[in-house]
Structure 1
Amino acid sequence: MDYSKLSDFEVNLKLAHILLGKDNYDWNSDKKEVYLAGIDGGEFLPNGYFDPCNNPADAWPIIFKYKISIEFDGDNSTEPQTTWCHARNLYRSCGINYQSNPLRAAMIVFLMMQDSANVQDNTEG
C-alpha cells in the first residue's frame, strides 16, 4: 500500500489501530481527529488527541522504539529547502523520501515496517 497517498488522519487512524488496539481509541471522521480512549462510568470519552503525524510527543516514542531515522536534506537543489527525506528503518529495509513533514515520514515508515513484518511472518513455515 502507498501510505504516502493517505491523509494525516488516515495514517493516524492506522497507527492507532496497530499501537493502541481497537478498544483504546476513537475517531471523528468529520473533524478528522483520532482520540485516545477514556472510560468514565462505562461511557467512552475522548481523553486527548492522538496525532503522531504532527505531534512530537505522540511520534517520538514510536520513532525511538522502532529505531526510525529521519534525515533532513536541505542541500537538494531540485526540492524546496524544507524537504525532508530518508526516513528509514534499516532493520526492515523500509524507507520513504521527500516528505515535507518529518514526523509523517517516520509514521509512514512505521506502517511500512508493519507490512514488511506481516509478509515475513506469512512466508515462514
Structure 2
Amino acid sequence: MDYSKLSDGEISIRLAYFLKPKYSATIHPYDQAAAQLSWNWFNTVQTTGYFPLRRAEELFPVMKKHRIGLNPSGKTVWQASHESGISATHRNPLRAVAIVYLLLQESANVPANSTGSDLR
C-alpha cells in the first residue's frame, strides 16, 4: 500500500490498530492529523487523543523495538529505514518512521507463498 498518499489521520488510525489494539480508533473530531481512541468503561464510552505523528514519546519506543533508523536526508527531509531494506522519506521524521513501521507490519502479515501456487 502507498502510505504516502494517506492523510496523517489515516496513518494515525492504522498505527492505533497495531499499537493500541484494545481501543477503537477514529479520526479525531477537532484535529484531522490525529486519532481518537475510545473504549467502554463501566458502560460509558471514554475517549482520548492519540498523536503519534506529533508526539515522539508515542512512536520512539516502537522505533527502538523494531530497530528503525532515522537519518537526515537533506536540509528539511528525513529518511527512516529498517535493516530489511524498507525505507521512507518525508519532511516529518515521525511520519517517515510510521510509514516504515506500517510497511514492516504489512510484510509480516503476507504469507510466505502469497502467489497461490503449490510448491509440492
Q: Fold-level match, TM-score > 0.5?
A: yes
* Displacement of 1:115: 1.4
* Displacement of 1:106: 0.2
SS in structure 1 of the partner of residue 51 of structure 2: coil
Normalized against structure 2, the TM-score is what?
A: 0.80
The structure with the greater share of residues assigned to helix is: 1
2:102 to 90, 93, 111: 111
Kept after mapping to 2: 8 A contact 1:26/1:35: yes
SS in structure 2 of the partner of residue 82 of structure 1: coil
Kept after mapping to 1: 8 A contact 2:9/2:27: no
Kept after mapping to 1: 8 A contact 2:12/2:53: yes
Q: Report 1 or 2 for greater relative contact order, CA contacts < 8 Å, sequence distance ≥ 6.
A: 1
SS in structure 2 of the partner of residue 27 of structure 1: strand
* Displacement of 1:122: 4.4
- Structure 1: 5+ residue stretches without partners: 75-80
Normalized against structure 1, the TM-score is what?
A: 0.78
Q: 1:2 to 1:27 in 2, by over 3 A?
A: same
Q: Distance in 1 between matches of 2:77 and 2:64?
A: 22
Which residue of structure 1 lines up, in the alignment, with residue 45 of structure 2?
44
Kept after mapping to 1: 8 A contact 2:68/2:82: yes
Kept after mapping to 2: 8 A contact 1:26/1:46: no
Which residues of 2 match residues 35-114 of structure 1 at below 5 A? 35-47=36-48, 49-74=49-74, 81-85=75-79, 87-90=80-83, 92-97=84-89, 99-114=90-105
1:29-87: CA deviations, max 9, x gaps? 5432413345432212113x21211110111111111111110123xxxxxx21112x1
* Displacement of 1:109: 0.3
Which residues of 2 match residues 4-19 of structure 1 at below 5 A? 4-19=4-19
Which residue of structure 2 lines up, in the alignment, with residue 3 of structure 1?
3
Aligned length: 113
Q: 1:18 to 1:113 in 2, by over 3 A?
A: same
CA RMSD of aligned residues (A): 2.1
Q: Distance in 2 between matches of 1:84 and 1:61?
A: 18
